[in-house]
Structure 1
Amino acid sequence: MSKPLKVGSLIENTLAPDRLGSLLGLVALKIKTRLIGIKEFFKTAFLYYGNTKFMKSDLSLMGMYLFNSPYSISKRFLEEQGDKNIYAYGETPLDTMEKIVRECGISSADHVFELGSGRGRVCFWLNTVLGAKVTGIDNVPAFIERAEKIRHKLGMEGVHFVLGDFLTAPLNGGTVYYLFGSALEEEFLGKMAKRFEELPKGTRFVTISFPLTDYTKPGSFEVMKRFPVTFPWGETDAYLQIKKK
């Protein structure tokens, strides 16, 4: 069985030995995050800022999170919820998402659900650059509120954000579902896979680090493709699956 890489757990274990080590680890993590963010900005500007609507949405996101990063917001929210894995936040780099779109044949004809949309950057990219209809779901209120403000400000009709838990939020209407599962627990992934079993035959699913076939009864899904993808923390595999029955 493929095992998702628990990114947050790795960080948490690294910080565990003592308070000084934890503090130094957090400072190092913040510096690394900032450097990754700077590099990602210039790459994004070069590749995608020719699309004016995406550029406006991306710069709006940058302004909203300039002094309060999504990593900090997620950490505080998870602490308040009593979650043990408080470093679970992560984003899919846009060039990685472009590879996923290409490998999986996702197009403007699709309705993509991003489960764990965070601040909504990938959703805005899928809508403005690819032209797909997009629904982003996340359980952090600040992420949804800010993404909705940008959506309204820019008059975007093809992208929507929903505040909710993946296990209870409505999932009807999608043709492609994207789930970054590397920081999620095994039990949760099993429950999520069972929810996917309720969706129509022919629905496609893209999961990171694990295939749905690890968590469902034989014959429910077929893995159509497996390919490597790169994230700031390293390389893993993406899986394209289709609902068989």
Structure 2
Amino acid sequence: RAPATRLISRLTLVTGGGSGIGRAVCQRFASEGASVVVADISKESANETLGSLQRDLRGQGHMAAAMDVRSKESVAKLVTSIQVCVTQRDFPLKSHHVSSCVSQGSFLVTQAIAQALVACGAPKGSIVTVGSIVGKVGNIGQVNYAASKAGVEGLTKTAAKELSRFGIRCNCVLPGFISTPMTDKVPEKVISKIKSLVPMGRMGEAAEVADVCAFLASDDSRYITGASIEVTGGLFIG
């Protein structure tokens, strides 16, 4: 297992951080020493996540914020406020430290974070997007979802090519069937069918996706960019 402090002095923005995989990512980042900005369309959910974060490692400071990833104005407002907080040292960080973004596939978030990193002269950064294995293989009845998640991979690979010269890496995580509050509502008969398709024989845990996000946000993945990493228990092996 990776050292528990590899994200110390890193400022991380996690969108969709109010629940599910996003919350697990926030918790994992904080446990490794990062300062975390928990962003979610629901400020209440973001605050719930904020209350669960470890904050006793050197230089940590967390905050929660409401943000709609569909709104350019909402995204820009949050990114600007983060920059102000860093400048005013509300966060015990300096702007040259790595900023990592875990996005739910939002072009607007990726664009805003990349622009902020370049503008402040950060020597390196890591953007981690969350797609889905469905975006790679398709799924009956999920054409809109599959198409949007396929777009996340295309966005990530293109961003990786464009941003590498600025020291910014971009990678994508492709979860399979993961246990989240959403899957709690799925009938047990359907869950059993899903498990039968997974070579490892079980649903994944949000923390297992967060483990991969933490790896991609850290220097342990410093020579990886433009990659898509499947976290599926072997589902849809080629």
Shorter-chain TM-score tier: 0.3 to 0.5
- Normalized against structure 1, the TM-score is what? 0.39
- Normalized against structure 2, the TM-score is what? 0.40
